[in-house]
Structure 1
Amino acid sequence: MKITDIELSILESPYHYGMSSEATDSRGPQYALIVKVHTDEGITGIADCDSHPHIMKAFIDAPSYIHAFAEGLKYAVIGENPFEYDKIWTKMYQSSFYQGRRGAAIHAMSAIDIAIWDIIGKATGQSVSVMLGGRNHEKILAYASTLFRNTPQEMKEAVQKYRGLGYKAVKFGWGIVTENPLQIVSLVEAARLEAGPDMDIMVDGMWTSDVKLAIQLVKELEHYKVFFVEEPLKSDNLAGYKKLANAVNARIACGEQLAGLYEYKQLLEEGDVDIIQPDISRAGGLTEVRKLVTMVEQSGKLLIPHAWTSDILTAASLHLNSYQKNPVFQEFCTNDTPLSRELVTNPLQLDSEGYVHVPSTPGLGVELNEEVIRRYAIDTLVVNTL
């Protein structure tokens, strides 16, 4: 089997990111990138990518500048056997040496890598979790992932909503607390009062560069039994994270903005946070994050994947969680937007106990809704090396 070409579709949502007064929930990214990797045996792998689609397209389709060191990722992928995923990953990484081998380069690599694992599963008739090395769990407890509401009363109403939908956990992020970090305490207090003791609450958002303020706020949040506090500091502030993590009892989480094992190794060793949060579509794909699972387990930390796009990335994250020995949560984005809710024909659903089941059909286990892709596509390109 050989990879023949890569198809890239940039989609545009009719909605802007954020919380709109007329929306039923938060609205996610305005753009999405759908990646299809085609093979000579008619098997196609799919992925989406939680990065700027136009930039990802350029990284994949750029012409060759210096062979094998500075060229589009297509030169490292097309013509290769998808089962040689490690070889392909290494070739992609090397091909981006002279245009920034981390960051955006690994984001683009990640989408291709996820699609390759989808091919591997489809070709063998197995789910991705089996092909990763072990389907250890059939369902993962989900948390509703949404944005902070503006008032305590709106926070209570949001908790009522998610509890009514069957969620046993909810995470509020960003929004108003990025403008005034001090508001987070009263908002979380209201959420906890409404949730009672049996619902897990998490919080997210880059609040401050003031480490002492972060320590103060997290200590106040501890009174409301938050399960974790995500990225209260900039992700590069490793010294700040270590100081924060060692000063509080609440779990500190970080990692969705990082790319590649080297950056995660630094976070583990220098930041000493409690929870690592790789976004598979940014961190290096399943090939890289599969290795990160072992690294995190050996460090005595937890790994909870970040997933804020569509059911395609959520499915990939579910397979990674299934592969983990001790998964904790599956982030389940509640965005009210077609680029989150309508991209697949078999949307993932919460069960009556608050879990999402790991797809069991071959590959990722979700299939694209081609009609929706056509409806929102603003740019489609078939990439090859001819």
Structure 2
Amino acid sequence: MNKFKHLFQLLKDRPEPSISPKQPTDLPAGDRRSFLRNSALGGLSMGMLLDGKVEQEMEFLTQKVQKASKPSDLKITDLRVAHLVGVPFGSPIIRIDTNQGLVGWGEVRDGASPNYALMLKSRLLGKNPCNVEKVFKEIKQFGNHSRAAGGVCGVEMALWDLAGKAYGVPVYQMLGGKYRDFVRLYADTPEGKTYEEFAQNMAKRRDQGYTFLKMDFGIGMLADQKDALVGAKQWSVRQQWNDREPGKFGNYANTKHPFTRIQVTKKGLDQLVEHVGRVREIVGYETPLAADHFGHFDVNTAIQIGQAMEPFRLAWLEDMVPWFYTDQWKQISDAITTPTLTGEDIYLKEEFIKLIDARAIDMIHPDLASSGGILETKKIGDYAEEKGIPMAMHFAGSPISMMANVHCAAATENFVALEHHGVDVAGWEDIVTGLKPIADKGFVRVPDKPGLGVELNEEVAKRYLKKDTPWFAPTDSWNSRDSNDREWS
């Protein structure tokens, strides 16, 4: 009897372990304690075989109890990065380590510097990653619009991954639960040199199961066409993204749309109409078809192009002018019936709120790796939902960032579709483990595993490592803070 009394006392005094995914997390705290004790006692018949050695019996009885993660004591001990390229663009992967062996994965937005994340390390060390919103509020001052938000957003993804793993639940559950089990994807489609080749590419997308497509067209297509454009000869209109092309009037890629003064002629509009019309014939009208990458021109030309496209019932016209021209967006939206959309470069909810309250756009389009991360993007979506505005989501990164998007999309009511730029990247899905396939017939099944639901497959991911860069090398030079971060006096 003394041995049993000793054993019961050890069980009684043992600290409550963290709940693993296979344990009943829906029980009240007191019932969970009873469950764990009863589960341990259920093995007494085996434990007693250890010939009265109580400490060994306790070790045997509790060998399957998770001891590593106690959320209240979880602390960040390190942050490192590995810069992947070709997935489909450059995507620095963040790894956050903790004192309990849990690892959180995040991702800096495509095309952004890993330093945007590394500079945050000194603000993270020693913090409990489960306090996601508190930590986010402390670091969000170091983000800004577009790629400058990449570090803050990537860290926020990794914090949610850690919090989910610590509590044994998927991220969407911590956001209030899910509205859907599957997240719809939309895919860009390579155009091809001929319409026949384009038709083959579209057929390939249909065979892959995609039910929502996007195409690119704009004034770059008219660059060599006689009398199609006014005022374009001195600009490199084909170089919408190449900011190293100087041009005679300046850098076209870095000149805001209204300041190029390029116009489209009737002949140019007719050629765009013919092109989109043929694409629509190939796609058919059953499949939603969105459009992007029109070029740099003023609000008047945007309205002309928008009105010309109305017969084709496009799903949306994206980023026709920069997102911060709220009044111009309202001019465009009021003048055409095709839905308008912007937002992939906006950081935080405040600028989305301005566009929504002004009824300047018909849909919002945050990129979670720029908009503030998982929770901020859900807040953006929730605000838009209250105003009757749908949300599509921009994404062009690795499966790590995709899964952050998937959890947010699952938990947001007004979500429509998530972009997938890595459809044609060989081996893209193998960069992570835990979910296979990721994209299945144009949808992603929302995972029920803790955190983001995937782990980095280091063997495969190393194939995409940027040349002459280290693989999660030590980052001790970023350990110390060298400024006062307080934003008020």
Structure 2: state its 5+ residue gaps.
1-73, 222-236, 239-263, 481-489
1:304-319 alignment runs, 5 A limit: 304-319=392-407
Supply the distance in 1 between the matched residues of 2:131 and 2:463 (Cα, whole angstroms): 35
Alpha carbons of structure 1 residues 47 and 322: separation in structure 2 relative to 1, 3 Å: same
The answer for the alignment partner of 1:185 in structure 2 is 273
Offset, 1:3:
0.9
Alpha carbons of structure 1 residues 35 and 186: separation in structure 2 relative to 1, 3 Å: farther
Alpha carbons of structure 1 residues 336 and 103: separation in structure 2 relative to 1, 3 Å: closer
CA contact (8 A) 2:339 2:361 kept: yes
Aligned equivalent of 2:103, options 35, 44, 56: 44
Supply the distance in 1 between the matched residues of 2:337 and 2:193 (Cα, whole angstroms): 27
1:259-270 alignment runs, 5 A limit: 259-270=347-358
Aligned equivalent of 1:4, options 77, 84, 87: 77
Alpha carbons of structure 1 residues 187 and 118: separation in structure 2 relative to 1, 3 Å: farther
The answer to whether the aligner puts 1:138 opposite 2:181 as a matched pair is yes
Offset, 1:340:
4.3
Supply the distance in 1 between the matched residues of 2:325 and 2:192 (Cα, whole angstroms): 27
Q: Deviations over 1:297-321 (max 9, x none)?
A: 1222111111111222221111111
Supply the distance in 1 between the matched residues of 2:139 and 2:379 (Cα, whole angstroms): 17
CA contact (8 A) 2:364 2:391 kept: yes
The answer for the alignment partner of 1:126 in structure 2 is 169
Supply the distance in 1 between the matched residues of 2:363 and 2:172 (Cα, whole angstroms): 22
The answer to whether the aligner puts 1:89 opposite 2:113 as a matched pair is no
Aligned equivalent of 1:373, options 451, 456, 461: 461
Offset, 1:341:
4.4
Supply the distance in 1 between the matched residues of 2:273 and 2:193 (Cα, whole angstroms): 12
DSSP-derived class of the 2:105 partner: strand
Q: Deviations over 1:100-158 (max 9, x none)?
A: 75554432100000011111111122111111111121012222234544543333222
Scaled by the length of structure 2, the TM-score of the pair is 0.67
Amino acid at match of 2:140: Y
The answer for the alignment partner of 1:170 in structure 2 is 213
Alpha carbons of structure 1 residues 102 and 32: separation in structure 2 relative to 1, 3 Å: closer
Alpha carbons of structure 1 residues 168 and 338: separation in structure 2 relative to 1, 3 Å: closer
CA contact (8 A) 2:144 2:347 kept: no
DSSP-derived class of the 1:80 partner: coil
Supply the distance in 1 between the matched residues of 2:174 and 2:336 (Cα, whole angstroms): 39
Amino acid at match of 1:7: R
The answer to whether the aligner puts 1:237 opposite 2:325 as a matched pair is yes
The answer for the alignment partner of 2:127 in structure 1 is 80
Aligned residues with identical type, % of pairs: 28
Offset, 1:348:
4.3
Supply the distance in 2 between the matched residues of 1:339 and 1:238 (Cα, whole angstroms): 40
CA contact (8 A) 2:389 2:414 kept: no
Aligned equivalent of 1:201, options 289, 301, 321: 289
Offset, 1:89:
0.9
Comparing 149-158 with 277-286, which one deviates more in the overlay?
Answer: 149-158
CA contact (8 A) 2:381 2:414 kept: no
The answer to whether the aligner puts 1:359 opposite 2:466 as a matched pair is no
Aligned equivalent of 1:60, options 117, 128, 132: 117
Supply the distance in 2 between the matched residues of 1:79 and 1:184 (Cα, whole angstroms): 56
Number of residue equivalences: 355
Scaled by the length of structure 1, the TM-score of the pair is 0.84
Alpha carbons of structure 1 residues 117 and 225: separation in structure 2 relative to 1, 3 Å: same
Q: Deviations over 1:201-227 (max 9, x none)?
A: 111114232212211212222211111
The answer to whether the aligner puts 1:28 opposite 2:88 as a matched pair is yes
The answer for the alignment partner of 2:475 in structure 1 is 383
Query: Looking at both structures, which has the greater relative contact order when contacts are Cα pairs under 8 Å and sequence separation is at least 6?
Result: 1
CA contact (8 A) 2:145 2:370 kept: no
Alpha carbons of structure 1 residues 173 and 382: separation in structure 2 relative to 1, 3 Å: farther
Alpha carbons of structure 1 residues 128 and 44: separation in structure 2 relative to 1, 3 Å: same
CA contact (8 A) 2:129 2:159 kept: yes
Alpha carbons of structure 1 residues 148 and 245: separation in structure 2 relative to 1, 3 Å: farther
The answer for the alignment partner of 1:156 in structure 2 is 199
Amino acid at match of 2:182: K
Amino acid at match of 1:11: L
Alpha carbons of structure 1 residues 93 and 330: separation in structure 2 relative to 1, 3 Å: closer
CA contact (8 A) 1:136 1:324 kept: yes
Alpha carbons of structure 1 residues 51 and 159: separation in structure 2 relative to 1, 3 Å: closer
CA contact (8 A) 1:146 1:333 kept: no
CA contact (8 A) 1:235 1:255 kept: yes
CA contact (8 A) 1:111 1:285 kept: yes
Q: Deviations over 1:17-57 (max 9, x none)?
A: xxxxxxxxxx831x22001111111111112222434x3x3
Supply the distance in 1 between the matched residues of 2:128 and 2:398 (Cα, whole angstroms): 27
CA contact (8 A) 1:255 1:277 kept: yes
